[in-house]
């Protein structure tokens, strides 16, 4: 028996040159050994920028690094053979394989088409001009190099509801395409930011076209057959009608021999909004707990001024733990990204203890936190910056502690703004632990574990504290942590 523990096996600035798939294969055994149970891989399909694409500028869903398209055969992460070898190695070590699904848009069209469009107010997408503009748009995808292999479907302007660029006349903005499916405006059951957040980027896929939705269902079957993956991470679902994803999930679950693990990215800090989406898809997918990640960001910035007793306030894991994937960082929140909300390194061990060692939520570990990363990019101010993301101390130990000690009922001691604790009681088969942390001065907590723990000796497995603690005849003791630190107390042998 294992506690589910996910690993995001990439970051936005991962080096190009086909290095990732070999690294996945190389590190699969070690990840399984420390307690990771599933790996989330980046988008494996060919993007507009070919071998330099992170994968979210999706071009051809059926090119997994197999065809000479967009300047390369391989993707940034490697070729199809390397992908399948990496997946095989993960599965050989009993790790789940979660593939990234990008269905909201397409980019890098092969041909232009004559279209009719309406201008859209970018700040309120419900404001659509009545004026009809005759123009050209890059909306035709023929995938000549693939030549109909796997799918003969040709995407044209009937498949899209909007674009952000037109030619003759040349304009940038948001333009609603006029076709048989867009007379009612944008899709419903999407986020209401900017009035309606159906449109995000590129050629915006219109799921109301039945041929499109059926093609995407077919692709879901195809990618499962090709890769034998065990789950999907669903990108940008706030921009995709919930009714479509409910249908798509039902379809792929019906086609799979085992239930597919699903987690969706709905990046909102409003818990009722997240809960509404879960209701719309009838609970068929988990969601990343963006509000908790934001709390970690604020806590790391404010230091001792942050009230740790509120760390789980207004979070998905507190409201609906069964659908929450808890995270400390991801590729969108890392420095220089659009949703930048980094958690300062000093606080990350505390944050990971609050996700990995608690009873509720499924935690995910971010690649740079385990392996480190260094990169350069342009900031919003136009200047170039170098970012170094260090390996987080004790993260490997905390992952191991999740499998070794994060068992049994949980009791919280959230009674001081700068020092909180929780205990796990353990089970008949698995031991528990006591976790104490402080965002200020060195802290202590009196923990009452009960008669079964009378006279037991405890040590801090992270070695942030060096003493051995012995519980009294009632199983109580004072447990300590260092300033701005976390300690995980386990019983000695």
Give the pair of three-digit tokens for residue 330: 């991801």
Q: What percent of the chain has pLDDT over 90?
A: 96
Cα–Cα distance, 147 to 127 (Å, whole number): 40
Which stretches does DSSP call E strand in 35-159? 38-41, 46-47, 58-60, 96-101, 105-106, 111-120, 133-140
* pLDDT recorded at residue 241: 98
* pLDDT recorded at residue 374: 95
* pLDDT recorded at residue 385: 93
* pLDDT recorded at residue 312: 98
* pLDDT recorded at residue 182: 85
Which of 260, 344, 254 has the alpha carbon at shortest distance from 302? 344
* pLDDT 10s digits, 74-122: 999 999 999 999 999 999 999 999 999 999 999 999 999 999 999 999 9
- CA 171 to each of CA 116, 212, 249: distance values in angstroms, whole numbers, following the listed order: 14, 27, 37
Cα–Cα distance, 41 to 32 (Å, whole number): 15
* pLDDT recorded at residue 202: 98
235 flagged as catalytic: yes
* pLDDT recorded at residue 177: 97
* pLDDT 10s digits, 271-317: 999 999 999 999 999 999 999 999 999 999 999 999 999 999 999 99
How confident is residue 152, by pLDDT bands cut at 50, 70 and 90? Answer: very high
Q: Which fold has domain 408-491?
A: Immunoglobulin-like (2.60.40)
Cα–Cα distance, 275 to 171 (Å, whole number): 38
Average pLDDT, stretch 42-69?
98
Mean pLDDT rounded to a whole number for the chain: 97
- Choose, from 265, 289, 320, 460, the residue flagged as catalytic: 265
68 flagged as catalytic: no
Domain boundaries, the chain: 6-102+211-401, 106-208, 408-491
* pLDDT 10s digits, 167-222: 999 999 999 999 998 887 999 999 999 999 999 999 999 999 999 999 999 999 99
Query: For the domain with range 106-208, which CATH number is right: 3.60.20.10, 2.170.120.12, 2.40.30.140, 3.90.580.10?
Result: 2.40.30.140
* pLDDT 10s digits, 464-480: 999 999 999 999 999 99
* pLDDT 10s digits, 7-17: 999 999 999 99
- CA 122 to each of CA 47, 129, 196, 273: distance values in angstroms, whole numbers, following the listed order: 25, 12, 10, 22
Query: For the domain with range 6-102+211-401, which CATH number is right: 3.30.2290.10, 3.90.1150.10, 3.20.20.80, 3.30.420.10?
Result: 3.20.20.80
φ, ψ at 211 (rounded to 5°)? -60, -35
Cα–Cα distance, 432 to 407 (Å, whole number): 5
How confident is residue 483, by pLDDT bands cut at 50, 70 and 90? Answer: very high
Q: Are 95 and 38 in contact (CB under 8 A)?
A: yes
Domains 6-102+211-401 and 408-491 share a fold: no
* pLDDT recorded at residue 60: 98
* Cis, peptide link before residue 187, omega less than 30° from 0: no
Which long-range contacts does 451-455 make (Cβ < 8 Å, 24+ apart)? 451/475, 453/491
- Choose, from 235, 320, 369, 460, the residue flagged as catalytic: 235
Would you give the DSSP letter of residue 343?
Answer: P
* pLDDT recorded at residue 184: 79
Q: 3-class DSSP state for residue 135?
A: strand
Count of beta carbons in the 10 Å neighbourhood of residue 384: 9
Q: Three-state secondary structure along 79-98?
A: CHHHHHHHHHHHHHCCCEEE
> For the whole model, what pTM was predicted?
0.97
């Amino acid at each position: 028996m294992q506690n589910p523990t996910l690993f995001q096996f990439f970051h936005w600035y991962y080096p190009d040159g086909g290095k990732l798939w070999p690294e996945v294969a190389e590190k699969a055994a070690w990840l399984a050994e420390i307690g990771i149970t599933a790996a989330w891989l980046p988008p494996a399909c060919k993007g507009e920028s070919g071998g330099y694409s992170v994968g979210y500028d999706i071009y051809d869903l059926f090119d997994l690094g197999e065809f000479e398209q967009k300047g390369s055969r391989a993707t940034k992460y490697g070729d199809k053979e390397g992908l399948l070898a990496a997946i095989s190695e993960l599965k050989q070590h009993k790790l789940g394989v979660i593939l990234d699904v990008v269905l909201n848009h397409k980019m890098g069209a092969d041909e232009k088409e004559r279209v009719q469009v309406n201008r859209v107010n970018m700040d309120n997408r419900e404001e659509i001009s009545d004026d009809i503009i005759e123009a050209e748009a890059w909306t035709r995808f023929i995938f000549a190099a693939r030549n109909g292999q796997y799918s003969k479907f040709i995407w044209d302007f009937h498949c899209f509801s909007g674009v952000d660029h037109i030619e003759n006349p040349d304009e940038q903005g948001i333009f609603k395409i006029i076709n048989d499916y867009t007379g009612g405006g944008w899709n419903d059951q999407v986020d209401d930011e900017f009035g309606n957040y159906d449109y995000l980027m590129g050629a915006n896929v219109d799921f109301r076209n039945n041929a499109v939705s059926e093609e995407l269902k077919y692709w879901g079957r195809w990618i499962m057959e090709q890769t034998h993956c065990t789950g999907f991470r669903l990108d940008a679902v706030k921009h995709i009608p919930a009714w479509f994803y409910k249908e798509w999930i039902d379809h792929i679950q019906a086609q799979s021999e085992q239930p597919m693990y699903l987690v969706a990215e709905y990046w909102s800090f409003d818990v009722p909004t997240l809960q509404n989406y879960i209701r719309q898809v009838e609970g068929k997918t988990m969601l990343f707990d963006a509000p908790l990640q934001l709390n970690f960001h604020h806590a790391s910035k404010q230091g001792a001024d942050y009230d740790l007793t509120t760390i789980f306030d207004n979070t998905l894991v507190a409201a609906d733990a069964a659908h929450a994937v808890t995270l400390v960082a991801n590729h969108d929140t890392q420095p220089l990204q659009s949703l930048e909300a980094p958690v300062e390194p000093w606080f990350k061990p505390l944050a990971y203890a609050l996700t990995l060692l608690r009873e509720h939520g499924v935690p995910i570990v971010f690649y740079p936190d385990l392996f480190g990363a260094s990169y350069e990019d342009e900031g919003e101010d136009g200047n170039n910056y170098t970012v170094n993301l260090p390996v987080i101390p004790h993260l490997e130990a905390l992952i191991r502690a999740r499998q070794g000690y994060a068992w049994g009922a949980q009791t919280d001691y959230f009674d001081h703004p700068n020092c909180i604790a929780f205990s796990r009681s353990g089970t008949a088969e698995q031991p528990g632990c006591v976790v104490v942390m402080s965002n200020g001065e060195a802290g202590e907590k009196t923990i009452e574990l009960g008669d079964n723990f009378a006279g037991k000796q405890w040590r801090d497995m992270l070695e942030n504290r060096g003493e051995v603690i012995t519980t009294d005849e009632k199983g109580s003791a004072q447990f300590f942590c260092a300033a701005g630190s976390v300690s995980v107390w386990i019983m000695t042998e």
